Structure 1
Amino acid sequence: MMRDSAPQISRHPTRSEIIELAAEEGHDADIPTNVGSIRSVRSRSASFPRGKLPDSEKQSSIGFDKDIEKGTRAESLSSREHDEDVPEEPSDPNVVWWDSDTDPENPMNWSFKKKWGTVLLVSAITFLTPLASSMFAPGVPEVMKTFHSTNEMLEGFMVSVYVLGFAFGPLIIAPLSEMYGRLPLYHSCNCFFVIFSIAAAVASNMGMFVTFRFFMGCFGGAPLVLGGGTIADLISREQRGTAMVVWMMGPTIGPCVGPIVGGFLTQAKGWRWNFWLVAIVAGAFTIMSMILMNETSAPIILERKAKRLRKETGNPKLVSKLDSGLTPKELFLFSIVRPTKMLTRSLICFLMSLYVAITYAYLYILFTTFTVVFETQYGWRRGIVGLSFLGLGIGSLIGQSVFTHFGNKTAEKHLARGDFKPEHRLYIMCAGGFFLPIGLFWYGWAVQAQTHYMVPIVGTGFIGFGLLMTFMPANTYLVDVFTVHAASAMAANTVLRSLAAAFIPLSSQKMYAAMGYGWGNSLLGFVALLLIPIPFLFIKYGERVRKLSTVKL
């Protein structure tokens, strides 16, 4: 007997709820999330076979006909007022949905232990991959000796090439997860990450080593792309904040903790053991995920259910409520093309991404030079040189805490007044922007003068604080401006900042050699000063820019 497949939810989700969930899952809100889409693609999907929508229907469902930057309604992630429910469609017997509000196939109905076990496992994997990005940084001189290289550009690139993988990997992983689900991507990317970690550990020349590091970054980006969506699949909105904080700890402190571990490990066992350790831990997480994790993506689960019911009932018209009606090729192209269009056609997306890209590149300039700086200027041994990254880590943690508290407080104040607009996100960025150049001047001249080592480390704390106080508000602003297409804006931001972090640090050693640590870091500080007006300008003119915008996808 065919199961009752009519929707059985108490109310239809609001537009803001759909947008919020889509952003957390890492895709645009016109692609169905586990509560639906902002566009009525499902009813058209029931009438046309998958991938056979007329061109006019595809255009309407995907949103090519609308300007994406007007900002005419408060539909951002933080907006809770004046929300209209998405129009509820008539019940259709050919639409497959959850059997009931307690359907065990729905990941939201899993047991507490199963839900939070998955969240903790995903958070652990998300901590490991950013940690691996910088873990072997203290061992860079040893790698150069092993491969008999004196190329200063390669010395920096072998660290930052990992982030280059972050630029390209997510562009492929995100659309694939929409096609095939999160679980196959977790398993395959984890396996390839382990394989390329082992390959880096046994590399016999510099070309092999750099190539393997790049592929480690490509596949290591999977939990960063999929983790937010997994949490959104499992945890209700009321409890999601705690889970997201746990998950975000990895990208925030992982790159700063890595060199501390790597410094002592390199001294004790050699640089190759940084990769062996990563491979061993990643291998253990991979086995655990294969045993304990299940698919959490509602569109994929319902598509499998619809396929099973079509076979059982012989009814070829059965279709998932969350079916987008798009072929895998179309989904893939939208995910690749949209971020490029937004980066090149939107002034807001380009300038905010440029600000983030330059500040993110500074982080990797420090990653690639700290070892040399503290060994040559302060005579630190290879084991303890990783401790020089503590200032960055502590500053980043403080910055994240301050942003979370005061950023949310500012937004809530304006929401209560009913006058919230995306530019209110930038007030805290205006203040935070000054800490980055202050920290760069402080660190550079303290190292140049060879003051007590704590003085430059405190300076790097200011840099870490400034990085988070610009990085986090900029990302939130992009989400609030682009709402429905927030994921594409974030993808554009990720690509530009990863490219900058991969290539800008390549010239850092030559810059310091020519200008010294004082003037070299002062040059970076002056560039950071030139970026400070960007949030001020958008606070004043951002709304006008959005109203005059002609950005269409």
Structure 2
Amino acid sequence: MIKGLYREPTRSEIIELAAEEGHDADIPTNAGSIQNTPGNRSPTPKQAADGEKQSNLEFEKDIEKGLRPESLSSEEHGEEQSEESDPNIVWWDGPNDPQNPMNWPFIKKWGTVILVSAITFLTPLASSMFAPGVPEVMKTFHSTDDMLEGFMVSVYVLGFAFGPLIIAPLSEMYGRLPLYHSCNVCFMIFTIAAAVSSDMGMFIAFRFFMGCFGGAPLVLGGGTIADLIPREQRGTAMVVWMMGPTIGPCVGPIIGGYLTEARGWRWNFWFVAILAGAFTIMSMILMKETSGPVILERKTKRLREETGNLKLKSQLDSGLSPKHLFIFSIVRPTKMLTRSTICFIMSVYVAITYAYLYILFTTFTAVYTNQYGWHGGSVGLSFLGLGVGSLLGQFVFTHWGNKTVTKHIQQGDFKPEHRLYIMAQGGFFLPVGLFWYGWSVHAQTHFMVPIVGTGFVGYGLLTAFMPANTYLVDVFTVHAASAMAANTVLRSLCAALIPLSSQKMYAALGYGWGNSLLGFVSLLLVPVPFLLIKYGERIRARSTVKL
């Protein structure tokens, strides 16, 4: 019933697991909290939030120093078995405890991974699926406002900026499963509401709430996989899960183009709602809670009732009140963005490039309709280049990027800036793709020429996003989730708001010079990863950022 023999988790294991679960490492993962590793025994985060001193915690004093050499080895602190003397600490009933999600049967574990990956594919798919039907929506609501034409697509990603800030702390309090179920149901409800909207304001509001609740699997999915799959086998599951955010927004318009032509724009939402309903029912039947802290907390409550011992406490108890979880979830990312040089630079870089993706999403239909006379389902095919480029970018990052990092780790000279080599070379593809796409559309060359250009754009975007996330994890370690949340909020705001002026930009400058303007801005960003590779370590060494 109580904790017996167990292996003391290493610092690197806890930090890695916390990043995958989407929270900072001073909030317990399935492996425990960073504050309970040897040498870091400390007051709880609640005590820190209440103003008590934590002078013995270096990572609380300065958050921007990057990985320590010892955190690169899974052998730190040794692999020996230790025994906790406190009989009131509740832990798993041995290494084969069936309550531990790591010990679930193969089919149950991978069935959960596949279902979560399917839901994670659906919500990004919905972000752009109806883009080819935007002109039909404008006709239905008798609107000619160019700004609204773009905003009805990008407002979805605005929800991605705010929803996760609430979903993340709620999942720490109540577990992943209630959040999956409630957000799936709300996503389905607001998708149906968008399908039956009777005016533009109603439609945009429902799209926003779709994004808020649709962000749940993006927040929770990595943690679910980390709950179920051992570290050594996690790479495959993570690649499957990441396919949704990578190709969903690009595949969606292809489906939506033909669906709009056949049944009208509202059926894009009915299609998503039907799939969401099916996944919701399946998840309610098949999915179980996977969060170790929540499972052990429930076990602790049950044992208290059975034994009458009120001193029993879960090994993974965070000691945090709901209030402090919300403070950490909302205040920390804000502090990261405004006080950390590295986080600010990286977030601005990613936000601008991400905004370009939604500029293309909101204008492809008009571009290919006006310049190439495409109509109906064929308009969705214009998104194909972005999809192929994104897939290629993900493959190159996974293979070549990891190979480069592994080499430096083996040499013993790894530093977080080594993550940026692939971003440095990928940065050139974005301006090349924008110039290529803009002037080929302007000259009305064969339609495959601009589509190939957008393939370069897709490749450049992926080689910016993926290294940025891994770099933030390596730099901020304990507080990586807050850094990534800051990055997500800023990029979502930019992706929602910057595309609002894209139609006016193209009207004033044309497709050639309009996309060239975007290309020149992206050219100004090309030196950023090179500068961080050269000076990033120095910036971090001089950093005095405190949370």
Which TM-score tier does this pair reach, normalised by the shorter chain? Answer: over 0.9
| Corresponding residue for residue 517 of structure 1 | 511
2:5 to 2, 5, 8: 8
| Corresponding residue for residue 536 of structure 1 | 530
Give the secondary-structure state (helix, strand or coil) at the position aligned to 1:323: coil
Matching of residue 198 in structure 1 with residue 212 in structure 2: no
TM-score, scaled relative to structure 2: 0.96
Matching of residue 482 in structure 1 with residue 476 in structure 2: yes
Q: CA deviation at 1:83?
A: 2.9
Encode CA deviations 1:232-253: one digit per residue, 9 max, x unaligned.
0000111111111110000000
> 1:41 and 1:310, CA in 2 relative to 1: closer, same or farther beyond 3 A?
farther
Matching of residues 8-407 of structure 1 within 5 Å = 8-9=5-6, 11-40=7-36, 55=50, 59=54, 65-71=60-66, 73-74=68-69, 79-80=72-73, 83-84=76-77, 90-407=84-401
State the alpha-carbon separation in 2 of the partners of residues 8 and 283 from structure 1. Answer: 44
Encode CA deviations 1:353-385: one digit per residue, 9 max, x unaligned.
101000000000000000000011000112110
Q: Structure 2 counterpart of 1:71, which letter?
A: G
State the alpha-carbon separation in 1 of the partners of residues 37 and 49 from structure 2. Answer: 12
State the alpha-carbon separation in 2 of the partners of residues 140 and 245 from structure 1. Answer: 32
Q: Structure 2 counterpart of 1:213, which letter?
A: R
Q: Structure 2 counterpart of 1:83, which letter?
A: E
State the alpha-carbon separation in 2 of the partners of residues 419 and 63 from structure 1. Answer: 22
State the alpha-carbon separation in 2 of the partners of residues 52 and 523 from structure 1. Answer: 51
Whether the 8 Å CA contact 2:397–2:422 is kept in 1: the answer is yes
State the alpha-carbon separation in 2 of the partners of residues 162 and 322 from structure 1. Answer: 35
Encode CA deviations 1:258-290: one digit per residue, 9 max, x unaligned.
000000000000000000000000000000000
Whether the 8 Å CA contact 1:45–1:53 is kept in 2: the answer is no
> 1:54 and 1:123, CA in 2 relative to 1: closer, same or farther beyond 3 A?
closer
Q: Structure 1 counterpart of 2:96, which letter?
A: T
Matching of residues 440-455 of structure 1 within 5 Å = 440-455=434-449
TM-score, scaled relative to structure 1: 0.95
State the alpha-carbon separation in 1 of the partners of residues 91 and 52 from structure 2. Answer: 23
State the alpha-carbon separation in 2 of the partners of residues 54 and 444 from structure 1. Answer: 51
Q: CA deviation at 1:66?
A: 1.4
Q: Structure 2 counterpart of 1:272, which letter?
A: R
Q: Structure 1 counterpart of 2:62, which letter?
A: D
State the alpha-carbon separation in 1 of the partners of residues 275 and 56 from structure 2. Answer: 43
Encode CA deviations 1:6-28: one digit per residue, 9 max, x unaligned.
2332x211111111111111111
Whether the 8 Å CA contact 1:15–1:85 is kept in 2: the answer is no
Whether the 8 Å CA contact 1:70–1:549 is kept in 2: the answer is yes
Give the secondary-structure state (helix, strand or coil) at the position aligned to 1:84: coil
Q: CA deviation at 1:62?
A: 8.7
Gaps of 5+ in 2: none
State the alpha-carbon separation in 2 of the partners of residues 75 and 530 from structure 1. Answer: 37
Whether the 8 Å CA contact 1:15–1:86 is kept in 2: the answer is no
Q: CA deviation at 1:498?
A: 0.2
Q: Structure 2 counterpart of 1:317, which letter?
A: K
State the alpha-carbon separation in 1 of the partners of residues 253 and 65 from structure 2. Answer: 44
Whether the 8 Å CA contact 2:10–2:75 is kept in 1: the answer is no
State the alpha-carbon separation in 2 of the partners of residues 517 and 260 from structure 1. Answer: 22
> 1:66 and 1:270, CA in 2 relative to 1: closer, same or farther beyond 3 A?
same
Q: CA deviation at 1:52?
A: 7.5
State the alpha-carbon separation in 2 of the partners of residues 70 and 47 from structure 1. Answer: 22
Whether the 8 Å CA contact 1:41–1:325 is kept in 2: the answer is no
Give the secondary-structure state (helix, strand or coil) at the position aligned to 1:24: helix
Give the secondary-structure state (helix, strand or coil) at the position aligned to 1:13: coil
> 1:61 and 1:212, CA in 2 relative to 1: closer, same or farther beyond 3 A?
farther
Q: CA deviation at 1:328?
A: 1.1
Encode CA deviations 1:490-513: one digit per residue, 9 max, x unaligned.
000000000000000000000000
Q: CA deviation at 1:91?
A: 2.2
> 1:63 and 1:487, CA in 2 relative to 1: closer, same or farther beyond 3 A?
farther
State the alpha-carbon separation in 1 of the partners of residues 78 and 355 from structure 2. Answer: 42
Encode CA deviations 1:119-165: one digit per residue, 9 max, x unaligned.
00000000000000000000000000000000000000000000000
Identity of aligned residues (%): 79
Matching of residues 408-487 of structure 1 within 5 Å = 408-487=402-481
Q: Structure 2 counterpart of 1:178, which letter?
A: E
Encode CA deviations 1:182-237: one digit per residue, 9 max, x unaligned.
00000000000000000000000000000000000000000000000000000011
State the alpha-carbon separation in 1 of the partners of residues 58 and 331 from structure 2. Answer: 14
Q: Structure 2 counterpart of 1:139, which letter?
A: G
Name the stretch that deviates more: 256-265 or 374-383: 374-383
Whether the 8 Å CA contact 2:42–2:57 is kept in 1: the answer is no
State the alpha-carbon separation in 1 of the partners of residues 173 and 458 from structure 2. Answer: 37
Number of residue pairs aligned between Structure 1 and Structure 2 = 546
Encode CA deviations 1:87-116: one digit per residue, 9 max, x unaligned.
967421000000111111100010001000
State the alpha-carbon separation in 1 of the partners of residues 373 and 122 from structure 2. Answer: 30
Q: Structure 1 counterpart of 2:76, which letter?
A: D
| Corresponding residue for residue 486 of structure 2 | 492
> 1:59 and 1:221, CA in 2 relative to 1: closer, same or farther beyond 3 A?
farther
State the alpha-carbon separation in 2 of the partners of residues 502 and 440 from structure 1. Answer: 20
Give the secondary-structure state (helix, strand or coil) at the position aligned to 2:376: coil
Q: CA deviation at 1:82?
A: 6.9
State the alpha-carbon separation in 2 of the partners of residues 351 and 126 from structure 1. Answer: 28
Whether the 8 Å CA contact 2:49–2:324 is kept in 1: the answer is no
Whether the 8 Å CA contact 1:443–1:457 is kept in 2: the answer is yes
> 1:67 and 1:363, CA in 2 relative to 1: closer, same or farther beyond 3 A?
same
Q: Structure 2 counterpart of 1:7, which letter?
A: G
Whether the 8 Å CA contact 2:163–2:212 is kept in 1: the answer is yes
State the alpha-carbon separation in 2 of the partners of residues 477 and 263 from structure 1. Answer: 37
Whether the 8 Å CA contact 1:196–1:216 is kept in 2: the answer is yes
